[in-house]
A and B are shown apart, each in its own frame.
Chain A
Amino acid sequence: MLEASQPPEPGHGVSATGYSTASGERSRWLGVGHCTHGDAALAGAAAAQRALIGDDPRLLVVFCSERYDLAGLATAITECAGDDVPLIGCSTAGEIAGGGPRDASVVVAAFGGDGFSVATRCAEHASARLRDSGAEAAAALSDIEPRPHQVLLLLTDGLAGDQQEIVRGAYGVAGAAVPLVGGCAGDDLRMAATHQLHGGRVLSDAVVAAAIGSDAPLGIGVRHGWRRVGEPMVVTGSANNRVHTLDDQPALDVYLDRLAAPGEARAEATAFTHFALTHPLGLSRQRGEDQVRFIGEADFRTRSLGCIAEVPRGGLAWFMEGDDESVMHATDAACADALAPLAPDPPLGLLAFDCIARRGVLGEPGIRREVARVSRCAGDAPVAGFYTYGEIARTRGVSGFHNQTLVVLAVG
């Protein structure tokens, strides 16, 4: 506990907010701590300490930069909260807290009080068994005490393969009664490896899940704010996450030409990924917004596109675009949707899973405004979240995997 009690150095933003309430005889609280200190142990302890605003912590959710010594970070947090407090977390492409979005920092959200019942699980080697790993992680639901409201929080490795399969696996166990929420871990857009935390362990290629039962409602909002550009195309050749041809032409060529992509994106992987961030693929759906697919990479040799989830052959697709206004509008709408089931009560806190692509559209000043808007919606309650490689939100139907969206979980 030595590191934990050490005061964080001045100049390294440490922020904390928390909110608690008692419903009947049982109490609930949610606290968020954020620290930008470069030392893993120090930053982890400081953020955890700030998040632990009450007695009886039930769950720690950690979002952190890949730049930290993750083992050291996890150890510092568990030492601060106690080994027996369940912990899940992941590396990110940017962290979100009430004070604003950051890189190279750690955010800890702590859920506490006997009004919550929590259990966590992890499933490793996910890429080889996507569906089973989703099911295995979702089995955490069988370990919690019955509460009127439940949610399954999932953090996955966005680079492991078709994420929709993981969500299908989780849905198979959870069923229609339990909403699913969460996001895919990131690695600051290096697209090399992401990490998941479970207890004090640091994993990769894993799914970690927290089943949360609560006495009060939990609301989920999911919006993207993108719109179609140009004419529709038919996905004429695709296998799982790879799109080979659009309208019978090599998909990469159609993509680059239709969008008049800059020269560097035509030859260089990193430049392509940066360009693709703000130019996703949209799949037509019967109800609600089009489904958006994040194009993560291109194969310059086979001229194909790699997405984060399945793009079914035979379907109609559009290229999509968004701007500051449409993306911000989606922010407000997602928060309002999440808060609606809690009304008239204010939330204890909000968790935000925001696609890295939205960060690409809004730019740095834009994401500061976006996080400020989320915080405004939260009122006095704290906000924690991260920039993701894919978002999970299933409240109706069976489809629960999204790209380029903002998912907000409001904890009542």
Chain B
Amino acid sequence: MPMSAAGASWSTQELVEFLELVSDCEDEPTAVRRAVERAAEALDAEVAAFVGAGRVIASVGFPAAEPGDGAILRVADGTSKQFELPGVGLAGAVSIPLTQEPGSSLIVGRRSPDGFSAEEQHLLRGFARVLSQSLRLLRVIAEERGLRATSELHAAENERLLSSLRERQALLERLSRIQRSIVHRAALQEVLDAIVAGARDLLDTAVVELRLLDPDDPKTMEMVASTGVPAAMGRQPRKPTSDGAGGRAILEERLVRVDNYAVSPLAIPAWAADHVEAAMAAPVRENGSVAGSLVVASRQRGRSFSSDEEEVLLAFAEHASLALTDARNFDAALHQALHDELTGLPNRALFLDRLGLARVRARRMHTPLAVLFLDLDGFKCVNDSFGHAAGDQLLAVVAKRLRECVRGGDTAARFGGDEFAILLDTTPQGTTPGAVADRVLLALKQPFAVSGKQVALSASIGIARTSGDPNDDIMRNADLAMYKAKRAGKGRYEEFEPVLHAAVVVRP
């Protein structure tokens, strides 16, 4: 199934929702049941199940009369890749093992010819990891409660569990703080710094760095957040993607653990010289594709990372992926909401917003500000003769030419149909709105190639300037001036004069 940008944003949201949902559960059976249902809902799947220690703990979508446990277990142990659903037919199935829960897996089945996409499987792995962590935490809490109730003889055991509980709680609290800051749209850098600090504290490591591939040069990685990396270890902002455990994690798209660092082929000489004993790196993804890596390193003598610690690093890397994907998609969504889809120009809403800000600034700085309102002449004929597709094509070219006529600080926007507007935020010495209008008229005079034919086009432009009166409706004034230009023969511009208000202008 092809995934659009909206689809990618979907997966981030689903993972955040899943995290929130499972973290809210107070006991294991509830967490498992809700996780199974949520997995099915998120993937629009007909069936889902959780298998633990060789038995079906929870399932959804199998009729009460025929629970389907046999089929679920066959998918769990890999002997089958599909479900035969009575009355429905074959459903493709995928089983994701919970790495920290041997013999456990999260399974979904969907009636769809395409199977599950890579992004969907990635999301399921995220679900499985979150579920695995939550289940362990809930189990520790339950055990701790039980022990406290039974006897004090188990004091040592109790203490061990309590410390484990504290660790888990610290992890969950830290992760949940990060989740919240992602959901609450904290600045991306703030979130990434929190992830680096969280990994340092919970893994008790001196060195953490988060590097991202340079989108313009994927052979290098840029440092985006770090802690405890001294100059001696080569604290360079960019380094080759092939470098060290971090580079390997990116290339192989999996967690890489290096014990006995000094003798590892993955060792970076400067790090080895700075007495790094062990390191770990996990890939970080953006919209499902690998985008960088999160690396931790310890100088503690004889240190090697445990599988529990691998899980913790993966959890932080997962959150870095969430934050990156979310920031990117939010930017994309915001851009989409404020720009015209056809031409890529700012839309009416963004234009009016910028106009409002510019007016405030103009009043404060006593600088002039002008709006050009532009309506194409003869566009309807193009649409009628060549069809809407050709009309759209022409509008896109018009937008491109308009963009070339304005400076960086100015805004050219599409208001809808064949109406455009230009905001000249400040008019420097020598440039007048009239000069910009002349440039636009000249640019539009060049013939347009539409459906293999040359088409001539012109525009009528109305210009209005700020007058110092805060109640002035500058857009309406520009509109009135534009109609004056239309009536005066089209293909020209007119400046607004207050007398225009007196004349009743009726749209043709």
Q: Which residues of A contact B (CB under 8 A)?
A: 135, 139, 141-142, 150, 168, 171-178, 230-232, 234, 236, 247-248, 284-288, 312-316, 396-399
**Residue in chain B with minimal CB distance to A173:** B64
Question: What residues of B have a CB within 8 angstroms of the CB of A234 in the complex?
Answer: 183-185
Residues of A within 8 A of B43 (CB): 286
Which range holds the interface residue count of chain B?
A: 35 or more
B45 at interface, CB cutoff 8 A = yes
Tell whether, in the assembled complex, residue A286 and residue B61 are in contact, meaning their CB atoms are under 8 Å apart. no
B66 at the interface (CB under 8 A from A): yes
Chain B residues within CB distance 8 Å of chain A: 6-7, 9-11, 13-14, 16-17, 19-21, 37, 40-48, 60-66, 85-88, 91, 110-111, 179, 183-185, 333-334, 337
Q: Is the CB of A314 within 8 A of B37?
A: no
Which A residues lie within 8 Å of B110 (CB)?
397
| Contacts beyond the supplied A314-B13, A396-B111, A398-B37: 19 A-B pairs with Cβ under 8 Å | A142-B65, A150-B87, A171-B60, A171-B61, A175-B61, A175-B62, A234-B185, A236-B184, A248-B184, A284-B13, A286-B42, A286-B43, A287-B44, A313-B20, A314-B17, A314-B179, A315-B16, A398-B48, A399-B41
Write out the residue numbers on chain B whose beta carbons fall within 8 Å of the beta carbon of A172: 60, 64
Least distance between B108 CB and chain A CB atoms (Å): 10
Cβ contact within 8 Å between A176 and B88: yes
Q: Which residue of A lies closest to B334 (CB)?
A: A231
The residue from A284, A286, A313, A396 contacting B46, defined by CB atoms under 8 A apart: A396
Cα separation A157 to B65 with both chains bound (whole Å)? 26
Do B183 and A176 have beta carbons less than 8 Å apart? no
Across the interface, B86 reaches (CB within 8 A) one of A168, A177, A236, A288, namely A177
> For residue A231, which residues in chain B have a CB less than 8 angstroms away from its CB?
333-334, 337
Chain A residues whose CB sits within 8 angstroms of the CB of B184 once the complex forms: 234, 236, 248
A141 to B44, CA, bound (A): 24
Measured between beta carbons, the chain A residues less than 8 angstroms from B87 are: 150, 176-178
Q: With A175-B86, A287-B44, A398-B46 in contact, do A312 and B337 touch (Cβ < 8 Å)? A: no
Cα A111 to Cα B409 in complex, Å, equals 70
- Chain A neighbourhood of B11, CB < 8 A: 286
Verify A174–B13 contact, CB threshold 8 A. Answer: no
Q: Kindly report which residue of chain B lies nearest to residue A229, judged by CB atoms.
A: B337
Shortest A184–chain B CB gap in Å is 20
Q: Specify the chain A residue showing the minimal Cβ separation from B45.
A: A397
Query: A236's contact among B44, B62, B183, by CB below 8 Å, is which?
Result: B183
Within the complex, the shortest CB–CB distance from A130 to chain B, in Å, comes to 13
Shortest Cβ distance from B86 into A: residue: A177
- Residue from B7, B61, B65, B337 in contact with A398 in the complex, judged by beta carbons closer than 8 Å: B61
When the two chains form their complex, are residues A176 and B10 in contact, meaning their CB atoms are under 8 A apart? no
Bound Cα distance A286, B46 (Å): 15
Q: Which residues of B contact A171 (CB under 8 A)?
A: 60-61
Contact of B13 with A316 in the complex, beta carbons under 8 Å: yes
CB atoms of A398 and B41 under 8 A apart: yes
Known: A173-B63, A177-B63, A399-B41. Is A314-B16 also a contact (CB below 8 A)? yes
A398 touches B183 (CB 8 A): no
A285–B42 Cα gap in the complex (Å)?
8
Contact B63 A314 (CB under 8 A): no
Known: A248-B184, A396-B44. A174 touches B17 (CB 8 A): no
Residues of B within 8 A of A236 (CB): 183-184
Known contacts being A175-B66, A177-B63, A177-B87, is A398 close to B111, with CB within 8 Å?
no
Q: Chain A residues with Cβ under 8 A from B47's Cβ?
A: 176
A230 to B349, alpha carbons, bound, how many Å?
10
20 A-B contacts, Cβ less than 8 Å apart?
A142-B65, A171-B60, A171-B61, A175-B64, A175-B86, A176-B62, A176-B91, A178-B63, A231-B334, A231-B337, A236-B183, A247-B185, A286-B44, A313-B17, A314-B16, A314-B19, A314-B20, A315-B16, A397-B45, A398-B41
Distance between B37 CB and nearest chain A CB, rounded to angstroms? 6
Query: CB distance B10 to A285 under 8 Å?
Result: yes
**What residues on A are CB-neighbors of B60 within 8 Å?**
168, 171-172, 398
How far is the CB of A399 from the nearest CB of chain B, in Å?
5
CB closest residue in chain A, given B68: A175
Cβ of B64 and Cβ of A284 under 8 Å apart? no
Inter-chain contact B46/A397, CB cutoff 8 Å: yes
- A232 with B63: CB separation less than 8 A: no
How far, in Å, is B216 (CB) from chain A's closest CB? 29
Contact A397 B88 (CB under 8 A): no
The residue in chain B whose Cβ has the minimal distance to the Cβ of A148 is B87
- Report Cα–Cα, A139/B64, bound state, in Å: 9
Which residues in B have their C-beta under 8 angstroms from that of A397? 40-41, 44-46, 110
Q: Which of A173, A286, A312 contacts B21 (CB under 8 A)?
A: A312
Q: Which residue of A lies closest to B40 (CB)?
A: A398
Give CA–CA (A18, B48) in the complex, Å: 41
**What separation, in Å, do the CA atoms of A314 and B110 have in the docked complex?**
25
How many Å from the CB of B415 to the closest CB on chain A? 17
Question: Would you give the shortest CB distance from B66 to chain A, in whole angstroms?
Answer: 7
Q: Which residues of B contact A175 (CB under 8 A)?
A: 61-64, 66, 85-86
Contact partners of B88 in chain A: CB under 8 A: 176-177
Complex Cα distance, B334 from A236, in Å, reads: 18
By the criterion CB–CB under 8 Å, are B10 and A312 in contact?
A: no
Expressed in whole angstroms, the Cα–Cα distance for A314 and B10 within the complex equals 12
List residues of chain B with CB within 8 A of the CB of A168.
37, 60
Complex Cα distance, B62 from A174, in Å, reads: 7
Give A18 to B85 CA distance when docked, in angstroms: 35
Min CB–CB distance B8 → chain A (angstroms): 10
Closest Cβ–Cβ distance, residue A89 to chain B (whole Å): 26
Asked if A316 and B63 sit within 8 Å, CB to CB, the answer is no
How far is B390's CA from A386's CA once the two chains are assembled, in angstroms? 46
> Do A286 and B20 have beta carbons less than 8 Å apart?
no
A287–B44 CA distance with the chains assembled, in angstroms:
8
Of the candidates B19, B20, B46, B179, the one whose C-beta lies within 8 Å of that of A176 is B46
Say whether B61 contacts A176, CB under 8 Å: yes
Judge whether B20 and A398 touch: CB under 8 Å: no
Please give, as numbers and ranges, the residues of chain B lying within 8 Å of A287 by CB-CB distance: 44
Q: How far is the CA of A352 from the CA of B64 in the complex (A)?
A: 28
Q: Hey, which chain B residues are within 8 Å of A150, CB to CB? A: 87
The 3 closest A-B pairs by CB, nearest first: A177-B87, A175-B63, A176-B46
Most buried by A among B14, B60, B85, B183: B183
Report the separation of the CA atoms of residues A247 and B14 in the bound assembly, to the nearest whole angstrom.
17
Q: Which residues does chain A contribute within 8 Å of B37, judged by CB atoms?
A: 168, 398
How many Å from the CB of B84 to the closest CB on chain A? 11
Residues of chain A within 8 A of B40, CB atoms compared: 397-398
Nearest CB in chain A: distance from B109 CB, A: 9
Instruction: Contact check, B13 vs A315: say whether CB atoms are below 8 A apart.
Output: yes
**Cα A174 to Cα B17 with chains together (Å):** 26
